[in-house]
Amino acid sequence: MPDESPSRGFWYWLRVAAVGRRPKRTLLRLAVLMVAAVVVFKFALLPIRVVGLSMEPTFHDHAINFINRLAYVRGQPRRGDVVGIRFSTNLDAAIHVMLLKRVVGLPGETISFAGGYLCINGDPQDEPYLKLRSDWNEPGKSLGPNEYYFVGDNRSMPPGQHEHGVAFRSQIVGRVLFKGNQ
């Protein structure tokens, strides 16, 4: 009598759908995926949710994005980069809350605002990403060798209500991954 393969019933196909034909291989793939996810999202890409209006209209309130922590491993922040900045200068603290701002001043420069325009070493700058502007006037701040100047894209409110200013290079967590409405 010829051999007959056993009937493949409902439970067999349910098991195949759940864990595949080779459960051990599926388990191994799952373990590799989990380790990869932990490594990527802990050390490389930090998921963030934007809260607030200071980066409108480039980034909307409640928008989801990622901070690329490896963006400046080989290289320095450039003017125009949108970056995540840790609140504290204490690098031992965890990072659950960050500022999301744009780099507008580089080390060694003097940054000021005149009539709502950003001035670098006294020269007014054209900022194509800036859609919401009001009449900001702020005296010059000179940046040290490891200092950058950060400001949001929504400058429709008085400067006292908009978090902006100088932070150290070490406070920059990384660069935003998806560039928003620029």
Partner 1 sequence: MKLIVRLILLAALGALALCSWDFFFPTPKKVIEKHLVKLARLASFSSTDGNFKRLADTERIGSLLAPNIHVVLDVPGGRSQTFDNRAEVLQAVMAARSSVKDLQAQFTDLAINLSPDTQSAVALLTVKAKIGGEPDLLVELLKFSFKNTNDDWLITGLETVKPLR
User: Which residue type is seen at 69?
Assistant: R
Q: Looking at 19-27, 30-38, 115-123, 163-171, which segment touches partner 1 (CB under 8 A)?
A: 163-171
Q: Which of 44, 132, 166, 177 binds partner 1 (CB under 8 A)?
A: 166
**Closest distance to partner 1 from the beta carbon of 114 (Å):** 20
Smallest distance, partner 1 to C-beta of residue 104, A: 12
Residue entry with tokens 């490891």: 146
Distance from C-alpha of 181 to C-alpha of 39, rounded to nearest angstrom: 29
- Which residues 6+ apart lie within 8 Å of 43 measured at CB? 69, 70
Q: In the complex with partner 1, which residue's Cβ is closer, 66 or 148?
A: 148
Choose the stretch contacting partner 1; rule: CB under 8 A; options: 10-18, 24-32, 63-71, 94-102: 94-102
Q: For residue 159, give the DSSP letter.
A: G
Query: Cα separation of 107 and 20, whole Å?
Result: 56
Question: Which backbone phi and psi does 95 adopt, to 5 degrees?
Answer: -120, 95
Binding mask 96-135 for partner 1 (x = CB under 8 A): xx-x-x----------------------------------
Nearer to partner 1, 99 or 118 (CB): 99
How many whole angstroms separate alpha carbon 72 and alpha carbon 33? 26
Q: Which residues bind partner 1 (CB under 8 A)?
A: 51-52, 85-88, 90, 92-97, 99, 101, 150, 160-161, 163-167
